[in-house]
Structure 1
Amino acid sequence: MSPDSLVLGATGFVGRALVAELLRQGRTVAAAVRRSDGPLRAWLAGQGVDTGGLTVVTADITRPGLGIEGLPDVRDVYNCAARYAFGLDLAEARAANVTGALNAARWTAGRRAPRRLVHLSGYRVSARDDDGARLGAYEATKREGDAAVRALAAELGLPLTVANPSTIAGPGQYIGLASVVADLWNGRLPLAPGGPRTFVPVVELEYFARFLAALPEDPGTAGGAYWVLDEDTPELPGLLRLLAGHTGVRAPRGHVPVGLLRALPRALTGADPETLPFLSEERYPTGPAHLFAEFHGLTPPPVERVLRDWADHLVATRFGAVPAPDVPHGFHDVAGARTWMAGDRTRPAHVLLPGAPLTTDSWARVAHRLEGAFLTADLPGLGRSGAAGTSADAWLDALLAPLDRPVLTAHASACAPALRYARRHPERIGGLVLVAPPFLVRAPAVPRRAAPERLAAALGVPRDEAVETAAALLRRPGAFRRATAAVRAANRAPEASRRALAALDLPVTVVTGGSDAPPPGGNVRIVTVPGGGHCPHLTAPEAVARTLDEAAGTSARRP
């Protein structure tokens, strides 16, 4: 079937979400990509989207005719193609944001019966900028392209609708406001940029995709422009307080005016001059978008939930450095501590605790080999979790209280709190697995300059994403000190831990790396992983996963 819609920029953040939405609605879609369609099809498959109505074409918006032949039955064209970045060369930005936009308009006008060109612009295209701010290449060319497309559409008699979104929040958005969130997370934001009424609005990605998909269906939107943003977005200081509370970091304690940021050297403030015009108190003409959304039954999700979910994604991916986990993940409150978790929070067969300085990411290779569901969490003050106002024992009590007798597995410094929990509540867990417990062999010290290669060498593991993440998180304020304290505490009083282990009346498995001293007897099973070193779950994940599944099987047979 010949496609009725063309999405330009189909592999981009907005474009692929729009392709998915159109396909879900039963539309036939031509997705324009510059190179291979593999990443787009893989992403759509991961979203569970039926691609039976998808055609993929190669295109270059900087070329007249877009490099696309055929597709005469396309009636709706969505131009999601643009260069969205700061620090662009002006010619590079204009080629996509001006020339490319005009080429898209001419191509649409050449269709047999074009119904609509939907052009994505930006919410700042009508901004006053009466403070003399100089625009960067991105914003300048977006404004130029907006005016040029409007003029050309009028000349050609082309039905045009312009969508002006604010910051689009969702998985895959790593620029703009995301850079401010990164500074907040990494302790580099003692003062909020702008003033107490600075307004940097957001709109949720899937809602925006539904909004775009509906525009050509309504004849009344031809010739219109729609500012799509959530006016309930907190003003920037409140937005930062919300995210600081959610992620367990300190919120800015004041603000610094934009004029001062502009006057001071960038080396001192760290502020990109191109972002400063976005730090505005201005409000926007959202009335037509609200009326359209209400008429078509489109309701945006609560903005505070959108911001929290987006923050979870940003932190999970290290702001775009690594892929997001393919299981539920995010921050949750546990005994007053903002706790990072990944996995099944309701009925996990396994609870996996990482030892400092590693994080939940270190369990990924094991977790995805397990037969049962799993939950992994960073202990308070370690990894991505915020510092707790309570003890690790109280935190673990709260974490495990709602669960149904999972096998509790801990690595290195996490073994001591896991062992204490097993002594207090043996009836609440199906078994205990201790991986490289420090009472058998001392945990290695955390290197002071935790570059990934130094950390990998200290732990005796290959440099991988888990090590990269741990090293990056150790650079956050106070992280090295807390990780070092956890390792030192774990290495103290090994005999007390060994006696506690021998006294337990439940199945216990100890996984060693092949050179550890033997633990005491009793109800303890020893599993040796030759060459496993201090981190057998990283060096031999298959063997460790088998051991955990066996422990879960033993748990299921217990009365």
Structure 2
Amino acid sequence: MCRPSCLLWEASLDAIVFGATGFVGRSLVAELLRRGQRVAAAVRNDTLTPWLTAQGVGTDRLAVVTADITRPLAGLPEARVVYNSAARYAFGLGVDEARAVNVTGALNVLDWAATLPEPRRLVHISGYRVSAAEVGPDPAASGAYEASKREADLAVRARARELGVPLNIANPSTVIGPGQYVGLATLVRQLWHGRLPALPGGPDTFLPVVTVGHLARFLAELPHAPTGEHHWVLDDATPPLPELIGTVADHLGVRAPRRTIPVGLVRRLPRALTGADPETLHFLSTDRYPTASADAFAAGVGLEQPPVADALRAWADDLVAAGFGAGSPWSAAYGFRAVAGSRTWVTGDRHRPEHVLLHGLPMNADLWAPLAAHLPGPVLAPDLPGLGRSSPTDRPTHAWLAELLDEVRTRPTLVAHSLACGPALRLAVERPERVGELVLVSPAFLQPPSPRLVRSRLAAVRLRGMSAARLADTLGLPAGPAVASAAADLRRPGVARRVVAALRAAHGRRAEFRALLDRVAVPVRIVVGAADPLVVPVEHEVLEVAGAGHYPQLTHPAEVAGLVTRAPSGSP
């Protein structure tokens, strides 16, 4: 297979990348294409092209070719530079499974590169714990993955000398960035879900990181380095692991573990208790690495790593947005922001939204993804404080909302759902100059009181224990990403309890919110599902969505978008 055209093969390509669908490989291909190079991507299945398109990277200089590096290679396009970023990166692998790609595959790539006409260059991507005799763990103590990478590193060096193939090796540390869900990401996931009571290692444990963007730029430049060099590519300014996790915890608005447990003790404890894969423990050490050559080379070609704390925060946002690999972000803009004492999760345009969307319970801002796809212009959709992915605040929700809108330069339509309608009304009454129009979707204070689940003493326990399928069934919704995202958040410490508390508090304020509806000065419209009508009469415009229940924006997004954006009743 070759795309877009085998005419690219008529002359030698600039580069061919093996493992081009992997986390590092795809970023390298993107970097090379952005530089105007002609690139072949050697893959087993083409998931690369749609990923590149989503990143806004043109593919007119890309040829996609099928290759299985576990077998001898032939019939591939010639290239001046051969990159091997292919690796089976996982823990718990069998020896044969790990060696098939990491050892046999690496040697097959090298053997094929040796058949190319000169000038040629092989860039092999190894690892910071497995390369060279002076650094790295005892291979007898490592798992199949690490042992295979170490074996490959030595074997590739020896075979390259034997065949006279010009070789450079890059030894990256833990690579972070959008799409990286293994390794250090496991600790961040445990931290986020409140399942990291203590850190393995000690106060000086060093787990260095490097961003995938910096690594891709470094690799793109590496063929210009003298042959035979190998470089440890990592940020030596990475703080010790406890400080690193503390930085991430502070950004996420969660509590960092205060204790550390020696790695030797963790190895002796049951995995079911520690949650730690024994193979990952080999990466937790106080070792430092010889980064001088990589730093000098990077400086010489004008490369500079981003501040490590900023990189960690951005990666934490990426992990949360993607549910640690369980989903994908529905907006290109997302992240945590400090709002009224809350580490608030915000999706969308924080400065010039046309619509601000406030979710009801027990959902989060992902509830609005289907509707946002039908709305014109940018939207802003936060998670309410203490709910979804946002940390709590001691200030009222309407005060939190007012501070959130302080950064907004437009006068947006404020769209609130269910229990969020009360704070939205309060904001519209007290700060009418901030709101262009108010749309209340299924306002809970005008509908039947909360279900029995909320009045139960075990309500929070039941909510926290619900699977996505059970939650969807309870809410009368089809299973989907929004419900799965909400179910995941409900399992985080305190979220289910705060959901139930918010429901109970709102139930006691129904009369207060009804009175606010008579005081609001901005245009108001109410949207409800036909199967979930109002039980309290109002004088404002009420629009029904046929066939919908309490979540019409999720089940009938196009219809709700039409009602949200239609001209107010009586307007010319």
Using structure 1 for the length normalisation, give the TM-score: 0.95
CA distance in 2, matches of 1:476, 1:277: 29
Native 8 Å contact 2:129 2:136 kept in 1: no
User: Counterpart in 2 of 1:420?
Assistant: 426
Alpha-carbon distance in structure 1 between the residues aligned to 2:437 and 2:23: 44
What is the aligned partner in structure 1 of residue 129 from structure 2? 124
- 1:355-397 per-residue CA deviation (whole Å, 9 max, x = no partner) reads 1210111100001110121000011110000111322122111
Q: Which residue of structure 2 aligns with residue 49 of structure 1?
A: 57
Q: Give the superposition deviation at 1:4.
A: 2.6
Aligned residue in 2 for 1:325: 330
Residues 519 and 347 (structure 1), Cα distance of their counterparts in 2 relative to 1, 3 Å cut: farther
Residue 72 of structure 2 aligns with which residue? 64
* Distance in 1 separating the partners of 2:137 and 2:65: 43
Superposed, which structure 2 residues align to 1:473-484 within 5 Å?
Answer: 473-484=489-500
Secondary structure of residue in 2 paired with 1:291: helix
Tell me, what secondary structure is at the counterpart of 2:49?
A: helix
Q: How does 1:224-263 map to 2 (within 5 A)?
A: 224-263=229-268
Q: Hey, what's the Cα distance between the residues in 2 that align with 1:254 and 1:184? A: 13
d(CA) in 2 for partners of 1:88 and 1:248?
Answer: 35
Give the match for residue 525 of structure 2: 509
1:292 alignment counterpart? 297
1:139-166 per-position Cα deviation (integer Å, ceiling 9, x unaligned): 0100000000000001111100000000
Say whether the 8 Å CA contact 2:128–2:136 is kept in structure 1. Answer: no
Tell me the distance in 1 between the aligned counterparts of 2:529 and 2:450: 12
Q: Tell me the secondary structure at the aligned position of residue 141 of structure 2.
A: coil
Structure 2 matches for 1:89-238, cutoff 5 A?
89-126=94-131, 134-218=141-225, 220=226, 222-238=227-243
Distance 2:96 2:471 in 1: 43
The alignment partner of 2:439 has SS state of strand
Deviation, structure 1 residue 5: 1.0
Query: Per the alignment, in what secondary structure is the counterpart of residue 16 of structure 1?
Result: helix
Correspondent of 2:37 among 24, 27, 49 = 27
Aligned partner of 1:354 in structure 2 is: 359
Q: CA deviation at 1:345?
A: 0.6
Which residue, out of 412, 418, 425, partners 1:406? Answer: 412
Is the 8 Å Cα contact of residues 498 and 520 (structure 1) preserved in structure 2? Answer: no
- What is the one-letter code of the residue matched to 1:55? A
2:199 is matched by which residue type in structure 1? A
Task: Say whether 1:345 aligns with 2:355.
Answer: no
- Number of aligned residue pairs: give it: 547
Q: Secondary structure at the match of 1:162?
A: strand
Alpha-carbon distance, 1:478 to partner: 1.0
* AA of the residue aligned to 1:12: G
Shift, 1:281, TM fit: 0.6
Q: Aligned equivalents of 1:279 and 1:193: distance in 2?
A: 8
Contact conserved, 1:8 with 1:31, CA < 8 A, in 2?
yes
Deviation readout 1:153-200 (Å, 9 max, x if unpaired): 011111000000001111111100000000100101111211001011
- One-letter amino acid of the structure 1 residue matched with residue 502 of structure 2: A
Tell me how far apart the structure 2 counterparts of residues 164 and 144 of structure 1 sit (CA, whole Å).
Answer: 14
- Corresponding residue number in structure 2 for 1:549: 565
Q: Distance in 2 between matches of 1:443 and 1:80?
A: 55
**Partner SS state of residue 455, structure 1:** helix
Report the Cα distance in structure 1 between the residues aligned to 2:83 and 2:336, rounded to whole angstroms.
36
Q: After superposing the two structures, state which structure 1 stretch, 480-489 or 76-85, moved more.
A: 480-489
Query: Which moves more between the two structures, 241-250 or 486-495?
Result: 486-495
CA distance in 2, matches of 1:347, 1:180: 35
Q: What residue identity is the alignment partner of 2:318?
A: H
Is the 1:443–1:534 contact (alpha carbons within 8 Å) kept by the matching residues of 2? Answer: no
Q: Deviations over 1:50-80 (max 9, x none)?
A: 2111111100010012xx40423x1110001
Alignment of 1:494 with 2:510, yes or no, is yes
Whether the aligned pair in 2 keeps the contact of 1:98 and 1:141 (CA below 8 Å) is yes
TM-score of the aligned structures, taking structure 2 as reference length: 0.93
| CA displacement, residues 497-528 of structure 1 (integer Å, 9 cap, x when unaligned) | 22210221211111111142255444x21111
Q: 1:226-246: CA deviations, max 9, x gaps?
A: 000011111100011101010
Per-residue deviation, 1:402: 2.6
Quick check: 2:524–2:541 contact (8 Å CA) kept in 1? Answer: yes
Q: Is this contact kept in 2: 1:439–1:494, CA < 8 A? A: yes
1:90 is displaced (CA, Å) by 0.7
Q: Distance in 2 between matches of 1:378 and 1:481?
A: 16
Gaps of at least 5 residues in structure 2 are: 1-7, 455-461
> Is 2:354–2:379's contact at 8 Å kept on the other side of the alignment?
yes
Give CA deviations for 1:59-109 in whole Å, capped at 9, x if unaligned: 0010012xx40423x111000101000011110100100000000110001
**2:436 aligned residue:** 430
Letter in 2 for 1:379: L
Taking the aligned partners of 2:119 and 2:337, their CA distance within structure 1 comes to 49
Residue 464 of structure 1 is aligned with which of 480, 485, 488?
480
Structure 1 residue 7 corresponds to structure 2 residue 17: yes
* Whole-angstrom CA distance in 2 between matches of 1:342 and 1:203: 26
User: CA 1:70–1:178 in 2, change beyond 3 Å: closer, same or farther?
Assistant: closer
CA distance in 2, matches of 1:305, 1:325: 23
Find the aligned partners of 2:350 and 2:407 in 1 and give their Cα distance. Answer: 9
User: Do 1:108 and 1:114's aligned partners in 2 also have CA atoms closer than 8 Å?
Assistant: no
SS at match of 1:123: coil
CA distance in structure 1 between the partners assigned to 2:380 and 2:23 by the alignment: 29
The letter for the 2-side match of 1:348 is P
Percent identity, please: 55
Deviation string for 1:125-151 (max 9, x for gaps)?
147567897201110100000000000
Aligned-partner Cα distance in 2 for 1:134–1:388: 47
Greater alpha carbon shift after TM alignment, 441-450 vs 13-22: 441-450
Matched letter for residue 60 of structure 2: G
Aligned residue type for 2:393: A
Cα distance between partner residues in 2 of 1:136 and 1:305: 32
Deviations 1:406-431 (A, max 9, x none): 11111111111111111111121001
Query: Are residues 371 and 132 of structure 1, via their aligned partners in 2, closer, same or farther at CA, if it must alter by over 3 Å?
Result: closer
> Is 1:76 matched up with 2:81?
yes
Q: Within 5 A, what are the aligned runs for 1:306-325?
A: 306-325=311-330
Is the CA contact 2:139–2:146 (under 8 Å) kept in the aligned structure 1? no
Between the aligned partners of 1:525 and 1:401, the Cα distance in structure 2 is 29
Q: Distance in 2 between matches of 1:399 and 1:443?
A: 28
Is the contact between residue 194 and residue 258 of structure 1 (CA under 8 Å) also seen in structure 2?
yes
Partner-residue secondary structure (3-state), 2:368:
helix
1:397 lines up with 2:405 in the alignment: no
Secondary structure, counterpart of 2:525 in structure 1: strand
- State the alpha-carbon separation in 2 of the partners of residues 304 and 58 from structure 1: 39
